Amino acid sequence: MKYRVISRVIIAFSLILSVWSIITFFSYKRANLYPAIPEEILTVLKENSNTEVVVYNQLLDKFILKYPSLDLTAYNEKFRQTNKLDMHSFLFLTVSGLPDKVKELTENRYKMEKLKSVKGFELYGFQDNYPFDEFLISSSIAKLTVFMFSNNVKKQASFFMQIFNTGPKEWHHIYVSKGSFDNGNMEMINAHPIGGSGSYLEIIVPAQNMKYDKIYFRHAIAISGKCPLCPPVVTEIEQEDKKLTIKTVAYHTEDYELEGFDSDKPLKLKISTENDGKRHFFFDIVYRKEKQ
Amino acid sequence: MKKKFNLIIIPILFLYAFMLFYKAETVSITDDARYYMEAAKNYSSYFTEGYKGFRYFDKNFIDRYWMFNNEHPSFAKLLMAGGYLFFHKLLGVNPEFVTFRYGISIMALILLLFIFDFTRRVFSLKAAVFASLFFIFLPRTFFHARVATLDFTVGAASFIFVYSYYRAFTSKFWTVMTGITFGLALATKLNAPFMVVPVVIHYLIIKREDIFKKRSIKALFPRQFISMLIISMPLFFMIWPWMWHDTVNRMSNYISFHTKHYGILMYYLGEIYREPRPPFTAPLVMTLMTVPVMVLFFSAVLPFIYRKKDSSENSPLMLVTLAALFSVFPVIISPVFYSGVKLFQPLFPFLAIMAGLGLALTLEKAEIKKREIKYGFAVLIFIPQIIGFISVSPNHLSYYNEISGGTKGALIHGMERHYYDLFYNDISTYFNEKCSKQRCDVCVMPNGGEYIYPASILKKGKELTNNFRYISNCETADYLILTHEYRWESYPHLLKQLKNEKAVYTKKEEEVPLFTIFKLK
């Protein structure tokens, strides 16, 4: 008797579940999720055409090809870690509220305002209150010039789709990516691998069109490249007659201040890993000045 | 135990065989299949060449054919080699690469027989039919049964081992088979032997009185475990000639390869994971999202309607439940990457049995008198699973259930829309048409390197035009294929870079793009 009642309840519930499954199946097949950005929001985006628009990841494939004129960036790309939040202001377009990570990473640094909410879309505006104006060279890697030296033969690395190809193999690259370090994950310029006997890289960082107070060389070897007995990665930094050598051995990121170097003059970096291409070397150049 | 074989499995078996073999060449090539296919081909050469001078035991001869892909044992690859020798070499079936898959698909048919037989013997015929049907329509498992990889065989070997163990309580033949099947599980992949844990726990529970109170010697040394001890390891070495020489060193390399396995990226709930690994709940969440709703539901109702028949019963449901739990357990303690379910294939035969039993018991205990209503209900239960299964065919690794909202919903939840680095048949179809007369240089982003070998396998099988030329330098390419995969950090960036290029073809599943071909020149 007891089992009969339970079984009949299960049957009733499973019938409902089955019908729900079929209806759900056809409804999500037919549903055209977020086919277009609502006109009201599009207007705001166009009014702020110089401001970067961060979109919730899952909207990216849908809209990036549909609205080529908008400067859309994926949330996943932008909010991996705080160090890349070098934007003074940005817009955030979402369909499912603000992700916790965005709230967490912007809490102390940005003033946030909900600008529009239309047909499930929400548009937020962010304005920073960071005491510095900061620029990271990793955010405009295209401006670098990269040369490879092998047995004293100099060759310029080709640049395509944000990647410098520095060798014959697909992983001979210089590009921006996230590294895992002892002090957390951080997005920097990944120069792995650059090994090979007598090989090194020369990177020209162009002069900045703004005067910054301080310049830092941020560097580390990722945990994935741990190799206790391997030689350090050696970076020589030159600017006119000024020259200094930095050896990277740590698995946590360090900011080394380039005292006496000017932001309005180009920097020349010479990076060498001797005969070891396995070091997962990451670096960045950070330009900083106090906000006016 | 009922012993009579029931012929009702025959039509189900034919249906499954048809599903597995029909258009098997259109199933995408996975990035790892190339290693196993090449290894399997080498193994077949070992057997066909070795008789000249009987060199089967010669170290150099063994090394020549067994060196490649020695990080994995041989059993699954021997199945592939069997498929290749029989279907391709003997019967002349083409394309060649499909015949490797046939070896795995035949194992899938054998597994179905075991699932059916186990369920029928220990539960009921109805439960066996339902379990079989639930099993063959599991989309992701079905995909793994059609590709030349190790994962399906791990599931099959694990299940057949558990089956043998259970039957060994009443049969000497299956006592021997327990040792053999455990040896085959050991010889499949390093995660298969974990199935010994639920078996031992089950044994300790059902024999606890004999062991702990009566201190019976016979119970302390069960014949199944003795068989496993005596037979499994010799069998493991016997069918893996690579281990015949330099054994200690090679065994140590085999174990250390897996203990120090490199990290694989996984995109899960909007985040990319390598190290740290995904949360321990990831395998459970993946199961909830990728197993058809009805299978989950009828597995979950079992505790409410199952009643043990009598005290003499060896608790088959407890065994099935333990096996299901422990097939996920290894990946919970060290959460999986990949498509999320690839590495816990042993779960699915047990889950199907639980669901089949749940449905059969529900029908039985509801005491519905009219047969039409009873079976009409049963049919209705399978409809959502079957339509979901058909709708993603042949891209079953893009399947997400109704709770997830399908592939589209899963994407919104931040899940990867497909198993990565798949060389889709649609890529071949597109380039066979577009490049029939001139050479096309094609690069693939973000992870192009994995597409070189599948392309050459397809060319060899005449499934892809020889005018298709993979190049790594996208600057000089005529076409660029972008695979939409969030696990690659560079993906959003690449998409942005390509927004002004001409997209000429997009493969979609439920409107979700899987890959896009851009014409660059």
Q: Is the CB of residue B495 less than 8 Å away from at least one CB of chain A? A: yes
Say what the pLDDT of residue A4 is: 86
Give the sheet arrangement for strand B502-509, strand by strand: B468-470, B440-445, B479-483, B512-519, B502-509
Contact criterion met (CB < 8 Å) for B495 and A15: no
pLDDT for residue B451 is more than 60: yes
Of these ranges, A3-7, A95-99, B154-158, B279-283, the one predicted with the greatest mean pLDDT is: B154-158
Task: Chain B: give the shortest CA distance to residue A239, in Å.
Answer: 32
Between helices B316-333 and B196-206, what is the axis angle to 10°?
140
Nearest chain A residue to B362, by CA? A7
Neighbours of A211 (CB within 10 A): 10
Give the distance from CA B97 to its chain's centroid: 18
Residues 6 or more apart whose Cβ sits within 8 Å of residue B267? B273, B414, B415, B416, B485, B486, B487
- Chain A CB contacts of B409 under 8 Å are 28
Q: A-contacting residues of B 299-358, CB under 8 Å?
A: 301, 304-305, 307
Say what the pLDDT of residue B448 is: 84
Label each residue of B394-458 as H, E or C: CCHHHCCCCCCCHHHHHHHCCCCCCCCCCECHHHHHHHHHHCCCCCEEEEEECCHHHHHHHHHHH
Contact criterion met (CB < 8 Å) for A161 and B445: yes
Span B366-394, average pLDDT = 90
pLDDT digits (tens, 9 = 90+) for B384-404: 999 999 999 998 999 999 999
B182 — pLDDT class (breaks 50, 70, 90): very high
Q: How far apart are CA A135 and CA B398, in angstroms?
A: 41
Span B301-325, average pLDDT = 83
- Chain B CB contacts of A3 under 8 Å are 305, 307, 365
Looking up tokens 């080498």, which residue turns up? B42
Q: Which helix (H) or strand (E) holds A149?
A: strand A145-150
Nearest to B178 by CA among B164, B189, B194, B157: B164
Span B82-97, average pLDDT = 95
3-state secondary structure of A180: strand
pLDDT digits (tens, 9 = 90+) for B322-343: 999 988 877 776 655 665 688 8
- The complex scores an ipTM of 0.85
Structure letter (DSSP) for residue A167:
S
Q: How far apart are CA A112 and CA A92, in angstroms?
A: 10
- Chain B CB contacts of A68 under 8 Å are 499-500
Structure letter (DSSP) for residue B36:
H
Phi, psi angle pair for B462, to nearest 5°: 60, 30
Q: A-contacting residues of B 64-93, CB under 8 Å?
A: none
Q: Is the CB of residue B293 less than 8 Å away from at least one CB of chain A? A: yes
pLDDT for residue A43 is more than 60: yes
pLDDT digits (tens, 9 = 90+) for B30-57: 988 999 999 999 999 999 998 888 899 9
Residues 6 or more apart whose Cβ sits within 8 Å of residue A260? A242
Nearest chain A residue to B471, by CA? A170
Contact criterion met (CB < 8 Å) for A28 and B411: no
Residues 6 or more apart whose Cβ sits within 8 Å of residue A89? A51, A125, A126, A127, A128
pLDDT for residue A129 is more than 90: no
Span B18-27, average pLDDT = 95
Q: How far apart are CA B318 and CA B367, in angstroms?
A: 25
3-state secondary structure of A128: strand
Nearest to B338 by CA among B271, B445, B416: B416
Contact criterion met (CB < 8 Å) for B362 and A11: yes
Q: How far apart are CA B205 and CA B212, in angstroms?
A: 10
Span A132-139, average pLDDT = 83
Of all residues in chain B, what percent carry a pLDDT higher than 70?
95
Task: Chain B: give the shortest CA distance to residue A259, in Å.
Answer: 33
Say what the pLDDT of residue B193 is: 78
Task: Chain B: give the shortest CA distance to residue A3, in Å.
Answer: 6
Of A61, A170, A175, the CB nearest to B484: A61
Q: Is the CB of residue B406 less than 8 Å away from at least one CB of chain A? A: yes
pLDDT digits (tens, 9 = 90+) for A226-273: 777 778 888 999 999 899 999 988 889 999 999 989 999 999 999 887
B303 — pLDDT class (breaks 50, 70, 90): confident
Residues 6 or more apart whose Cβ sits within 8 Å of residue A251? A181, A182, A220, A221, A222, A223, A226
Contact criterion met (CB < 8 Å) for A7 and B484: no
Residue positions counted in chain A: 292
CB A189 within 8 A of CB A175: yes
Contact criterion met (CB < 8 Å) for B499 and A68: yes
Phi, psi angle pair for B281, to nearest 5°: -80, -10
Q: Which two tokens stand for residue A171?
A: 């992983």
B494 — pLDDT class (breaks 50, 70, 90): confident
pLDDT for residue B136 is more than 70: yes
Nearest to B117 by CA among B194, B2, B221: B2
Do the strands A158-160 and B440-445 form a parallel or antiparallel pair, or are they unpaired? unpaired
- Among the residue ranges A251-255, B184-188, B446-450, the one predicted with the least confidence is B446-450
Phi, psi angle pair for A72, to nearest 5°: -90, 140
pLDDT digits (tens, 9 = 90+) for B205-257: 998 888 887 777 778 889 999 999 999 999 999 999 999 999 999 999 888 87
pLDDT for residue A82 is more than 50: no
pLDDT for residue B380 is more than 50: yes
Say what the pLDDT of residue A170 is: 58
The DSSP result for A214-260, as a single string, is EEEEEEEE-GGG--TTSPPEEEEEEETTEEEEEEE--SS-EEEE-TT
Number of A to B CB contacts under 8 A, please give it.
143
pLDDT digits (tens, 9 = 90+) for B270-290: 777 876 678 888 888 999 999
Contact criterion met (CB < 8 Å) for A6 and B305: yes
Q: Which two tokens stand for residue A41?
A: 């929001």
pLDDT for residue B458 is more than 90: yes
Do the strands A121-128 and A52-55 form a parallel or antiparallel pair, or are they unpaired? unpaired
Say what the pLDDT of residue B309 is: 66
pLDDT digits (tens, 9 = 90+) for A184-210: 777 889 886 665 666 788 999 999 988
Span A63-68, average pLDDT = 78
- Among the residue ranges A76-80, B25-29, B184-188, B314-318, the one predicted with the least confidence is A76-80
Task: Chain A: give the shortest CA distance to residue B409, in Å.
Answer: 8
Q: Is the CB of residue B272 less than 8 Å away from at least one CB of chain A? A: yes
Give the sheet arrangement for strand A89-94, strand by strand: A72-74, A52-55, A89-94, A121-128, A110-118
Structure letter (DSSP) for residue B1:
-
Burial label, A241 (beta-carbon count in 10 A; 0-12, 13-18, 19+): exposed
Nearest chain A residue to B365, by CA? A4
Q: Is the CB of residue B274 less than 8 Å away from at least one CB of chain A? A: yes
pLDDT digits (tens, 9 = 90+) for A154-174: 888 888 777 888 876 656 788
Phi, psi angle pair for A243, to nearest 5°: -150, 135
Q: Is the CB of residue B269 less than 8 Å away from at least one CB of chain A? A: no
Average pLDDT, chain B: 90
- Chain B CB contacts of A160 under 8 Å are 473-475
Nearest chain B residue to A55, by CA? B492
B493 — pLDDT class (breaks 50, 70, 90): confident
Contact criterion met (CB < 8 Å) for A28 and B406: yes
Average pLDDT, chain A: 82
Say what the pLDDT of residue A168 is: 64
Nearest to A267 by CA among A243, A237, A246, A241: A237
